[in-house]
Amino acid sequence: MGFKKMASVGIAALALMGGAAHADSKADDIVSGRCFLCHGMDGEAASAVFPRLAGQHSEYIAKQLADFKSGKRKSDTMKPQAEELTPAEMKALGVYFEGKKVGPRQAKDIELAAVGKYIFQKGNQFSGLPSCASCHGPRGLGTPQLPRLAGQHPRYIEDQLKQFNKRERTNDNAVMHTVASKLTELETHAVAEYIATLD
């Protein structure tokens, strides 16, 4: 490779790194200016009613922000937070939080978590409830289109399942309406308790 070609490759690499650094800086400014109040600087929510964003898929975060902005996903709290964000900023925020470390939590009720493990891995053949793992994966890590569940606050999981059941949350996979409607109150508590222990 000639000197000129090496130099142009080096310049292109530096430009990419500079762009990435700018995106990181922009995301850092947005998080410290608004997101941290509820979600913390590292995506560790200040309260169990707010989702833990650390380790969540960047594409999924960007999509949810876009849905909050458009009103497709209803939230009096999140809509004003997302309204001024550009698609590039939403993507940068997704990358920012995806890069944060995430870890499991200890189960508060081991027996309840054991019931949740069964539901998560096998579902309930008697009620026609599919396993959570069939879509979100055996470790709850999800995909860019389906959220990472592992390590999420139990309270937040329960709240979202209730919203799906009541058709109050309609911006995501409609399959969740059927899934949530088949969960008993015990199963909802149990699976949320188990999900929090996943890593």
CATH number of the domain enclosing 88: 1.10.760.10
Give the separation between CA 7 and CA 81, rounded to whole angstroms. Answer: 43
104 falls within a domain: no
pTM: predicted TM-score of the whole model, two decimal places: 0.86
Q: Average of pLDDT values for 124-139?
A: 97
Give the separation between CA 58 and CA 112, rounded to whole angstroms. Answer: 31
Task: Choose the final residue of a domain: 98, 123, 145.
Answer: 98
Could you tell me if 86 and 13 lie in one domain? yes
103 falls within a domain: no
Instruction: Please say whether the beta carbons of 149 and 132 come within 8 A.
Output: yes
Could you tell me if 180 and 124 lie in one domain? yes
Give the separation between CA 42 and CA 51, rounded to whole angstroms. Answer: 12
Could you tell me if 31 and 91 lie in one domain? yes
User: Is the pLDDT reported for residue 11 higher than 70?
Assistant: no
Host domain of residue 126: 110-195
Q: Average of pLDDT values for 152-165?
A: 97
Q: Check residue 131 and give left, alpha or beta (phi > 0: left; psi -120 to 50: alpha).
A: beta
172 falls within a domain: yes
48 falls within a domain: yes
Q: Categorize the per-residue pLDDT at 12 as very low, low, confident or very high, splitting at 50, 70 and 90.
A: very low
Q: Average of pLDDT values for 37-65?
A: 95
Could you tell me if 168 and 120 lie in one domain? yes
Could you tell me if 142 and 92 lie in one domain? no
Could you tell me if 62 and 116 lie in one domain? no
Task: Choose the final residue of a domain: 49, 78, 98.
Answer: 98
Question: What is the number of domains present in the chain?
Answer: 2
Name residue, tokens 């922009």: 26
Give the separation between CA 144 and CA 29, rounded to whole angstroms. Answer: 24
Give the separation between CA 10 and CA 71, rounded to whole angstroms. Answer: 43
Could you tell me if 69 and 152 lie in one domain? no
Could you tell me if 85 and 133 lie in one domain? no
Q: Average of pLDDT values for 156-168?
A: 96
Residue 129: strand pairing partners: 124
Could you tell me if 35 and 71 lie in one domain? yes
Structure tokens at 81: 């937070």
Could you tell me if 27 and 91 lie in one domain? yes
- When mean pLDDT is compared across 13-27, 106-120, 131-145, the lowest value belongs to 13-27
Structure tokens at 142: 């999800």
Task: Choose the final residue of a domain: 73, 98, 123.
Answer: 98
Own/partner contacts of 154-159, CB < 8 Å, gap of 24 or more, are: 154/48, 154/189, 154/192, 154/193, 154/195, 154/196, 155/48, 155/49, 155/192, 156/45, 156/48, 156/49, 156/50, 156/51, 156/52, 157/191, 157/192, 157/195, 157/196, 158/188, 158/189, 158/192, 159/49
Give the separation between CA 16 and CA 9, rounded to whole angstroms. Answer: 11
Could you tell me if 15 and 72 lie in one domain? yes
